[in-house]
Amino acid sequence: MNHLEIIPVYDETLFTDKKNTDKPILKIGNFERKVMTLVHQTDWSEENEDFIKKILSAGNLQINDYLIMVIQNQSQLFEVINQHKPEILFLFGLNLDHEFFKSNKSMYKPFILNDIKIALCDGLNQVKTDKEKRLLLWNQCIKPIFNIQ
């Protein structure tokens, strides 16, 4: 008997996460350079949209280079990241902590996880109104990630 004959094959779904049925509520950009920015819905406004576009343009990015997504809840995070597979990821007002994963990473200290450069940042409202946080974003995230001198 061949050992491959006794391997069971499952063709049914064993687990689905029903709470992740919400889809992102807004997408901006074309994502050609694989730069993704995720923002929580509670932190989104037209004013913040202009602000995030200015941040990304400071990294020498055009609207075709990035994708901005507004998501409704934290539980969507891993699904959205896995679906789009960015090379660079900015999280504003979101973190990577989940019931099965704890990142324990500091804000404004970019790190690499699964070949993705990730920067955790405060919410857009906080960054926009706090000069120190804007400087941290520029000096510790934007400049090193995009190799700006």
- pLDDT tens digit sequence for 21-78: 566 677 888 888 899 999 999 999 999 999 999 999 999 999 999 999 999 888 888 8
Range of the domain at 60: 24-145
Question: Hey, is 43 helix, strand or coil?
Answer: helix
- Prediction pTM value: 0.80
Residue 73: inside a domain: yes
Q: Residue 59 sits in a domain of what CATH number?
A: 3.40.470.10
DSSP 98: B
- Domain assignment of residue 2, yes or no: no
- Decide: 19 and 75 in contact? Cβ < 8 Å: yes
Residue 14 lies in a domain: no
CA–CA distance, 33 with 87 (Å, rounded to integer): 8
Q: Are 98 and 77 in contact (CB under 8 A)?
A: yes
